[in-house]
Each structure stands twice: as C-alpha cells, then as structure tokens.
Amino acid sequence: MQGLLNDVDVVALILLALHIVLGSIAAVMVSANRRPSSAIAWVLAIIFIPYLGMVAFLLVGRGKLPKARREKQRAVNELILGRTPGLSAVSHSEEWPAWLRSAVELNLRLGALPMVGGNRAELLEDYKGCFDRMIADIDSATEYVHVEFYILALDPTTTPFFEAMARARARGVAVRVLFDHLAAVRDPTYRDMLRAFEGMGAEWHAMLPLRPFKGQWQRPDLRNHRKLVVVDGRVGYTGSQNLIDVSYNKKSNVRRGLQWHELMVRLEGPVVRELNAVFVTDWYSESETLLPLDTSPVVLGSAPELIDAQILPSGPSFDNDNNLKLYTTLIYKAEHRVSITSPYFVPDEAIQLAIITAASRGLSVELFVSEVGDQAMVYHAQRSYYEVLLRAGVRIYLYKAPQVLHAKHFTVDYDVAVIGSSNMDVRSFSLNMEVSVLVHGRSIVDQMRAVEDSYREASTELLLEDWLRRPVGHVALDNLARLTSSLQ
C-alpha cells in the first residue's frame, strides 16, 4: 500500500511539474507582442484548464494571418503608394480643423490610402432601398462590378441583386465577387448561390477559406468582415449592411421579430478608386491575380456639398490595429462632442479610456447600442462596460426592439465622421478585416447628425440609477462574459 501511495505521489509530482513547465512556456509564448490583458487571460486559461486551454490557444491564439498573406498586403501597399505621388495632398486641407492633419497622416502610413477631395456622399438607411440603389448602379455598369460582403446569401430579398449581376454579365461587364467563406457556407442557400455565379459567368472567391485538406487554414475566427460594392470605379458603397435578408434568415430572429437596421454610404468621386483598391488587394490575396490599380487623374469639384474622404482598411493582414489607432486618435482630438454607434461595443482598453476621458473633459459624449442582442456573449460583455461610462457622464441610448441597430459609425465635433464595417470591439480591432471611411465635410456630418437624432428618438436613455438596480444574476452574467472578451 505504501509503495502504491509513493507511485501515486510520484505521478502527481510529475504532473505538477509538467503543469508548471506548461504554464511557464505559455507565459512566454502568449505574452509575445500581445496586450497584457489578453496575455493574462490566456495564461489563466492554460493554467486552470491546461490541456483544453493550450489546444484553444494553438487553434485561435495567433492574431495574425499567415506570413504569405501579410506579404501580399505589403506588396500591394507599395504599389498603391507609388501609383500617384503626392496624391495625399489633393484635398481641401485648408478647411480642416487643425488636429485632423495628423489623423490623415496616420491613416496614410497605416493603410497606404490618401485623403482625397471632390467626393459626394449619400447616407442610405432603408434596407431594401439600399439594394435598389446598388441594383440601379449595377444596371448602368459598362466595365466592371466588384462585390465584397462578409455575409452573402441568395434569398428572396437578394435575388434582384443577383439578377442585376447576371444582366451585367450578359452585357459583357466583368463581375467579380468575394464573400467570407465561414459566414457564407453556414447559409443553407450556399450551393444555390455558387450555382448562380457559375450560371451567370461571374468570377468568385471565398475569402479566408477554411479547407485544411486543401492546405487552406488560418485561425478560424480571423474573418473578412468588409462590405463594399464598386461599379466602374465611379460609384462605391460601404457600411454595415450584408447581402442578406433583413432577418438574416435565422428562425430565431424571425420568431423574435428581429430586423437589422443598417447604415450604408454611397460614394462618388476619387475616393471610389481608393475603395476599389481594397477590393483589388483582397482579390489578389484569394486568387493570386493582381487586378489593375486605377491610376486615372483625380478631378476635384468645388461645390459646397463635396467632401474629403479617406479609406482605411484594417485587420490581421496589417502589422498594426489600424482602425483602433484611428478611432482612439479622433476621440482624443475631439473638442466638442463625440457620438458613437456600435452594435457590438466591447472596447479595447485604449478606446474605453479615450471615451471616458472625453466625457471627463466636458465633451458631449453619447453611445447608441441595441436594447436587444443577437449574440448572447457579446451582448452581456458589452453591458459590463455601461456603469463606468455612465459614471463618467457618457449618455447611453438603447435602440428599441425588435430593431437591431447594426450600423457602425461615429461623428466628431461638427465636420468629421467615420462610417464603415467596424464595430467598437476587440474583434473588429484585432481579428476581423474591416474597412472604414474617414470623411471631412459639414454636409455629410449634418446627414449623420440627422441619423443620430432619429436613433435618439427611437431609443430609451439608460440612467445610472436604473442600471444599478438590475438583478444580481444579470450583473454576474455580464461580468463573466466580459472575461472572455480578452481572449484574442
């Protein structure tokens, strides 16, 4: 019996030693080039659930795309920067607030795309109406139609869009389509969609495909979350809306009556070719084919409603968290007010501090989020941030159900704004490939202020005293969900 106990003790000591070694190795591996909060969360996961934690880290612990893809991004960046020297100076910079120039330079260094003037921008809130406008522009295409969406599905709502692409192909127009592989393959119409592309003769590629038996593999939750359409390099669309029915074709959403409220921007002018450069880069990454980059001369207009605009791509193909750096900079630079709309608000420490600091400086700061959520963990994690924001003086508005406010944008002071595909959460900052548009112009910001006014009217303001009275069980669930947000 004594010998058996000794053997058990020896095995226990060996396992303990292995646990300590595993934890030490994990601490070194995990902490390399990672935020401290994220590193600590991973180390704790590996220590407390050692084998599952290590397997999880090996599967989803690396926050960058494979080296070959990042090298493609750098190569295209160099081509973009070299195509038209001095293009970054072509804008109405004399009208910018003094602090904007440094943010524009930051974007140029991060994303390789300049701020250009002479653009027209129109905001589109109506879900079906946005599809109608895109279809009308596709029907006028003479050269090419470029379509890129995180979620792309063939359903009764999107069928007219597919028919417009087919008509374009019948006219001899090149139609190229990109969609996120993991997001699209989960839709039951996936095979029907592929057959539709083949039938019309469109070229297509799945972005960031997960096909391990074909050698196509990367961290599964690194996804391409961009949404954009470019027609002939003269008209472009981007924003929050995916190419799918307003209910996202989920039975649970239909049962709850949930419908997505989006915001897209229709662009005309030189900025469209910069948006197309994002598509060209993604097409190159997936197809090995580098499409021509538009080098046509930039024609500036002088009408008062024309604006300056700059495209900023971001994501794990870059060495920096491009959108995080831009957003943080703009919030710190704000002098009067900041209005933020984000369906998934799980902020990085830097963004959280910037928002709280802005409110503490006496600025008018407001946050628009949905009253209901479609992703339970994210929904509860974001609620854990409300108390500290409310105590700092941030006004929080809950957009009333059954609408899900899925728009992603924010305005700074009276003439600067950002709109795009990026949420204000750690996933959009570090894991997803996103695209944002930085705009300067009173006309576009006035449009966005009107949109924000409509949100306010359709929302309930969250008050601190009410929030502090929520059930203890909700508090516990919110705080537990928050812990998972650091695993990135």
> What does the pLDDT look like over 295-331, one tens digit per residue?
665 565 667 678 999 999 999 888 889 999 999 999 9
Query: What pLDDT, on a 0 to 100 scale, did the predictor assign at position 1?
Result: 46
Q: Which among 459, 482, 333, 365 has a CA at the least distance from the CA of 405?
A: 459
Place of tokens 């830097």: 350
What is the helix, strand, coil percentage profile of the chain, to 5? 50, 20, 30
Pairing mode, strands 144-149 and 227-231? antiparallel
Q: List all residues 6 or more positions away from 183 whose beta carbon is below 8 Å from its beta carbon.
A: 150, 151, 152, 223
Q: Which run of H or of E encompasses 470? A: none
CA-CA distance, 365 to 76, in Å (whole number)?
38
- Give, in order, the Cα–Cα distances in Å from 25 to each of 22, 43, 49, 83: 5, 10, 15, 46
At 240 the three-state DSSP class reads coil
CA-CA distance, 25 to 21, in Å (whole number)?
6
List Cβ<8 Å contacts ≥24 apart for 465-468.
467/386, 467/387, 467/390, 468/387
In 99-143, at which residue ranges do the beta strands (DSSP E only) sit? Answer: 116-124
The backbone region for 193, taken as left when phi is positive above 0, alpha when psi lies in -120 to 50, beta otherwise, is alpha
Q: List all residues 6 or more positions away from 141 whose beta carbon is below 8 Å from its beta carbon.
A: 168, 171, 173, 231, 232
CA-CA distance, 197 to 185, in Å (whole number)?
15
The string of pLDDT tens digits covering residues 444-485 is: 999 999 999 999 999 999 999 999 999 999 899 998 888 766
The string of pLDDT tens digits covering residues 323-333 is: 999 999 999 99
pLDDT confidence band for 356 (50 / 70 / 90): very high
Lowest-pLDDT range of 12-21, 77-86, 172-181: 12-21
Query: Which DSSP state fits 428?
Result: I
Tally the residues of the chain: 488
Question: To the nearest whole percent, how much of the chain has pLDDT over 90?
Answer: 66
Task: Read off the pTM.
Answer: 0.88
Q: What angle do CA 180, 181, 182 make, to 5 degrees?
A: 100
Q: Which among 286, 80, 294 has a CA at the least distance from the CA of 203?
A: 286
